[in-house]
């Protein structure tokens, strides 16, 4: 287990380094950040001043080394828009995004696992078809459209739920549904196929033959084993959600990191954008690292490979 | 006595495929919808009743025909600049299909090359490709695409390239796994033994046998690219006005959606329908070519 952990840790660190360099490079090479920072009406000398001010005239690798060294200490520079440290602004918004992601994950799991189990117990029944329909629709509807449709139905027609902001827990219901719905198909398919496989296994036959109650067989013996891959999928999906919450936060005007990222892109707040891209990527790297470890811990066969 | 035992004939593989295709409702529905939308895109100039860019401020926000105040002159109404909604919708199909197809081609070439190389050669190549896939998956697609498009400027070309360069991961993952399964096959070894070049083995032994999986991923990635384009355009950093992208139409209708929900419901529904159709086709092809049960 230790060897496996160290190996995964090394890979995660390498990925983190590569991704940080790529996100740094990407935003450097796709335009003149100095010109973008200085604004559209800036003169040549103003642009040159900005370039010097932000160290944009130095070689790329030097800039990267400088940026990442400070980033590791939590210092992402100052946002030219807020005139405040980037990390302080992001820190203030992180809680909202994590709450939203958490709620979305809970919604997705709470919808997907029961449906997946029922679909596996009765394949090709109406409930299986319902589960399939939900998952096919979930993959087809664009998230922004689903979010807006929720706003129209629950916020405007029924007037039951707030449609923007993040003041109370009720503000999180609609965005969490909109964000979580997209993770539902993956959870449902995995639960269904896992359950079908487990239900056909010998130990389930034994449990049934012993005369255990069907519910006990289903939940204690089958679901427990089928749910192992779902746990690591949850980690990965949570990582995706943090990236995908940009669209949902923008639709519902939630002051989280995603909305901040969108606004920062729109106002060319480069230090902010870089910091957010890096942060979301790092979240994903860390989450998948723990998911891998968890998988290896639960299933010893993985450690050998 | 020649004909005592009746001759047993087996249906040809093509026959079996045809039979499965005809029996697969999802695939048929998806194919029908996709055909209709593609035909609409091709015949847009003939089908659109108006110029999609023509503004008529005296005819703003006319509701569609099923509303009490709507009329047949503008069956789907007009937007807030008085442009005919049906015409914009019809031309919008071109943009979705163009971006979906082109981005899929770029990502397909990158992902298939990486995946097949990793699966066939294994070892170091496999490690490097696996690493690239992990690194790519760690980068948030929407955020990176938005940032790059915002910095470079949102032309059709830029969007196609940005999406194409970002979404090759599923191609690589699936092609790698499919190739790994084939690598040790007898016919691949036989080709090696008679001295075929690596390129030839990859081209005529490996590729034809991973083609089914490739087609399935390709359809799913078209749908993925279409959804991403719509999201970028919705956020104002994709296709730029006055081009009639469906995502952009939802964005432009957003401020009117409380009183005229149809301005977002119409393009949103068509967009969902197109993606649904493509996904149904992808799932259908998987079921038809590998009926061992859906995952």
HEC readout, B226-281: HHHHHHHHHCCCCCCCCCCCHHHHHHHHHHHCCCCCHHHHHHHHHHHHHHHHHHHH
Judge if A49 and A193 occupy the same domain. Answer: no
Q: State yes or no: pLDDT of A52 exceeds 80.
A: no
Enclosing H/E stretch for A300: none
In a domain, A77, yes or no: no
Rounding to the nearest 10 degrees, give the CA dihedral for residues A197, A202, A206, A209: 70
CATH of residue B252: 1.10.3720.10
Give the single-character DSSP code of B62.
P
The answer to whether A258 and A250 are in contact (CB under 8 A) is yes
Q: State yes or no: pLDDT of A124 exceeds 90.
A: no
Distance CA B222, CA B157 (A): 16
All residues of chain B having their beta carbon less than 8 Å from the beta carbon of residue A116 are: none
Per-residue pLDDT reduced to its tens digit, A203-251: 888 888 888 888 888 887 888 878 878 888 888 888 888 888 899 999 9
Give the nearest chain A residue to B139 (CA atoms).
A281
Enclosing H/E stretch for A84: strand A84-85
In a domain, A58, yes or no: yes
Distance CA A31, CA A37 (A): 11
Q: 3-class DSSP state for residue B220? A: helix
CB atoms within 10 A of CB B139: 22
In a domain, B293, yes or no: no
Distance CA B224, CA B234 (A): 15
Distance from CA of B111 to the nearest CA of A (A): 18
Q: Specify the range with the lowest mean pLDDT, choosing from A163-167, A218-222, A240-244, B43-47.
A: A163-167
Q: State yes or no: pLDDT of B293 exceeds 60.
A: no
Judge if A53 and A186 occupy the same domain. Answer: no
Largest CA distance in chain B: 88
- The pLDDT, as a whole number, for residue B98 is 93
Per-residue pLDDT reduced to its tens digit, A79-121: 878 888 888 888 888 888 999 999 999 999 999 888 888 888 8
B265 in A contact zone (CB under 8 Å): yes
Domain of residue B186: give its range: 19-47+59-288
Cβ-defined contact of A26 to B144 (cutoff 8 Å)? yes
Closest CA to B286 of B211, B221, B222: B211
In a domain, A18, yes or no: yes
Residue of B138, B142, B279 with shortest CB distance to A281: B138
- Mean predicted confidence (pLDDT) in A38-48: 74
B 104-163 → A contacts, CB under 8 A: 131, 134-135, 137-144, 146-148, 150-152
Q: What is the three-state SS of A204-253?
A: HHHHHHCCCCHHHHHHHHHHHHHCHHHHHHHHHHHHHHHHHHHHHHHHCC
In a domain, A113, yes or no: yes
Distance CA B77, CA B59 (A): 9
Distances (CA, A) of B276 to A129, A160, A281, B235, B282: 16, 30, 29, 22, 10
Pull the structure tokens for residue B20: 């499965």
All residues of chain A having their beta carbon less than 8 Å from the beta carbon of residue B254 are: 148
Per-residue pLDDT reduced to its tens digit, B87-138: 888 898 999 999 999 999 999 999 999 999 999 998 899 999 999 998 898 8
- Tell whether pTM > 0.95: no
In a domain, A81, yes or no: no
What's the gap between Cα B160 and its chain centre? Answer: 12
Cβ-defined contact of A142 to B144 (cutoff 8 Å)? no
Residue of A136, A156, A288 with shortest CB distance to B279: A136
- Mean predicted confidence (pLDDT) in A40-45: 74
Cβ-defined contact of A31 to B151 (cutoff 8 Å)? yes
Judge if A105 and A253 occupy the same domain. Answer: yes
Give the nearest chain A residue to B283 (CA atoms).
A136
In a domain, B7, yes or no: no
Judge if A48 and A12 occupy the same domain. Answer: yes
In a domain, B79, yes or no: yes
Judge if A126 and A204 occupy the same domain. Answer: yes
A192: which residues sit within 8 A by CB, 6+ positions away? A116, A117, A119, A120, A128, A131
Chain B interface, best mutation among A13, A25, A30, by max B CB count within 10 A: A30
Distance from CA of A203 to the nearest CA of B (A): 22
Which comes out higher in pLDDT, residue B1 or B230? Answer: B230
In a domain, B6, yes or no: no
Judge if A56 and A107 occupy the same domain. Answer: no
Looking at the structure of chain B, the number of domains it has is 1
Judge if A151 and A46 occupy the same domain. Answer: no
Cβ-defined contact of B234 to A247 (cutoff 8 Å)? yes
What's the gap between Cα A305 and its chain centre? Answer: 27
Residues in chain A: 305
> What DSSP string runs through A97-145?
HHHHHHHHHHHHHHHHHHHHHHHHHSTTSHHHHHHHHHHHHHHHS-HHH
- Mean predicted confidence (pLDDT) in A68-77: 82
Distance CA B286, CA B212 (A): 7
Pull the structure tokens for residue B148: 């790059």
Q: Specify the range with the lowest mean pLDDT, choosing from A217-226, A280-289, B85-94, B199-208.
A: A217-226
Do the strands A78-79 and A84-85 form a parallel or antiparallel pair, or are they unpaired? Answer: antiparallel
Judge if A67 and A117 occupy the same domain. Answer: no
Q: State yes or no: pLDDT of B295 exceeds 70.
A: no
Sign for the pseudo-dihedral over CA of A37, A38, A40, A43? negative
B295: which residues sit within 8 A by CB, 6+ positions away? A189, A193
Distance from CA of A98 to the nearest CA of B (A): 16
Judge if A259 and A131 occupy the same domain. Answer: yes
Domain boundary among A72, A87, A103: A72
CATH of residue A122: 1.10.3720.10
Distance from CA of A136 to the nearest CA of B (A): 7
B43: which residues sit within 8 A by CB, 6+ positions away? none
In a domain, A78, yes or no: no
Judge if A123 and A244 occupy the same domain. Answer: yes
Q: 3-class DSSP state for residue A78? A: strand
Sign for the pseudo-dihedral over CA of B186, B189, B191, B194? negative
The answer to whether A81 and A264 are in contact (CB under 8 A) is yes
In a domain, A190, yes or no: yes
Domain of residue A196: give its range: 95-304
The answer to whether B191 and B261 are in contact (CB under 8 A) is no
Looking at the structure of chain A, the number of domains it has is 2
Question: How far does chain B reach from its first CA to its final CA, in angstroms?
Answer: 51
Judge if A17 and A113 occupy the same domain. Answer: no
In a domain, A80, yes or no: no
Which spans in B2-43 are helix H? 13-23, 25-42
B33 in A contact zone (CB under 8 Å): no
The answer to whether A261 and A90 are in contact (CB under 8 A) is no
pLDDT bucket at B294, cuts 50 / 70 / 90: very low
Judge if A293 and A168 occupy the same domain. Answer: yes
Pull the structure tokens for residue A173: 């219901």
Distance CA A247, CA B66 (A): 31
């Amino acid at each position: 287990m230790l060897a496996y952990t160290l190996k995964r840790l090394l890979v995660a660190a390498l990925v983190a380094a590569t991704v940080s360099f790529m996100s740094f490079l990407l935003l450097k090479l796709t335009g003149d950040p100095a010109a973008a920072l200085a604004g559209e009406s800036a003169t040549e000398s103003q642009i040159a001043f900005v370039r010097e001010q932000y160290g944009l005239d130095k070689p790329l690798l030097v800039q990267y080394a400088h940026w990442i060294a400070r980033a590791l200490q939590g210092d992402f520079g100052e946002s030219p828009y807020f005139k405040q440290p980037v990390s302080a602004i992001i820190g203030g918004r992180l809680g909202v995004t994590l709450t939203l992601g958490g709620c979305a994950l809970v919604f997705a799991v709470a919808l997907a696992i029961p449906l997946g189990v029922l679909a596996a117990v009765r394949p090709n029944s109406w409930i299986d078809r319902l589960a399939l329909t939900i998952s096919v629709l979930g993959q087809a509807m664009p998230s922004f459209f689903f979010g807006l449709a929720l706003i129209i139905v629950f916020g405007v027609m029924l007037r039951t739920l707030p449609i923007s902001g993040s003041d109370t827990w009720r503000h999180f219901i609609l965005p969490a549904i909109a964000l979580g719905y997209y993770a539902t198909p993956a959870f449902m398919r995995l639960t269904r196929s896992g359950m079908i496989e487990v239900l056909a296994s010998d130990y389930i036959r034994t449990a049934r033959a012993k005369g255990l109650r069907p519910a006990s067989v289903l939940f204690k013996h089958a679901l427990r084993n089928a749910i192992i891959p779902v746990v690591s999928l949850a980690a990965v999906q949570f990582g995706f959600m943090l990236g995908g919450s940009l669209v949902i936060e923008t639709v519902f005007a939630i002051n989280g990191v995603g909305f901040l990222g969108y606004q920062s892109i729109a106002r060319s707040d480069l230090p902010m954008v870089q910091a957010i891209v890096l942060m979301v990527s790092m979240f994903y790297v860390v989450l998948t690292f723990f998911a891998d470890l968890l998988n290896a811990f639960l299933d010893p066969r993985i450690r050998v490979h | 006595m020649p004909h005592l035992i009746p001759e047993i004939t087996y249906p040809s593989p093509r026959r079996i495929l045809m039979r499965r295709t005809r029996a697969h409702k999802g695939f048929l529905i998806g194919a029908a919808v996709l055909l209709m939308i593609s035909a609409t895109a091709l015949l847009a100039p003939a089908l659109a009743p108006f110029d999609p860019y023509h503004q008529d401020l005296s005819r703003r926000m006319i509701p569609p025909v099923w509303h009490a105040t709507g009329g047949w002159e503008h069956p789907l109404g007009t937007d807030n600049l008085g442009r005919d909604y049906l015409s914009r919708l019809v031309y919008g199909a071109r943009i979705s299909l163009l971006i979906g197809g082109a981005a899929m081609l770029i990502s397909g070439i990158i992902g298939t090359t990486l995946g097949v190389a990793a699966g066939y050669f294994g070892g170091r190549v496999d490690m490097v490709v696996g690493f690239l896939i992990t690194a790519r998956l760690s980068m948030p697609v929407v955020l990176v695409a938005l940032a790059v498009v915002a910095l470079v400027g949102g032309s059709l070309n830029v969007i196609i390239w940005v999406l194409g360069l970002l979404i090759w991961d599923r191609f690589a993952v699936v092609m790698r796994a499919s190739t790994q399964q084939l690598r040790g096959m007898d016919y691949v070894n036989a080709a090696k033994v008679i001295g075929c070049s690596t390129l030839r083995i990859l081209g005529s032994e490996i590729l034809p046998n991973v083609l089914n999986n490739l087609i399935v991923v390709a359809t799913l990635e078209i749908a993925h690219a279409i959804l991403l384009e719509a999201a970028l355009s919705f956020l104002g950093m994709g296709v730029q006005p006055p081009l009639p992208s469906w995502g952009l139409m939802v964005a432009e209708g957003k401020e009117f959606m409380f009183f005229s929900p149809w301005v977002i419901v119409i393009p949103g529904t068509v967009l969902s329908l197109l993606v649904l159709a493509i996904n149904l086709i992808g799932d259908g092809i998987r079921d038809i070519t590998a009926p061992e049960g859906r995952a």
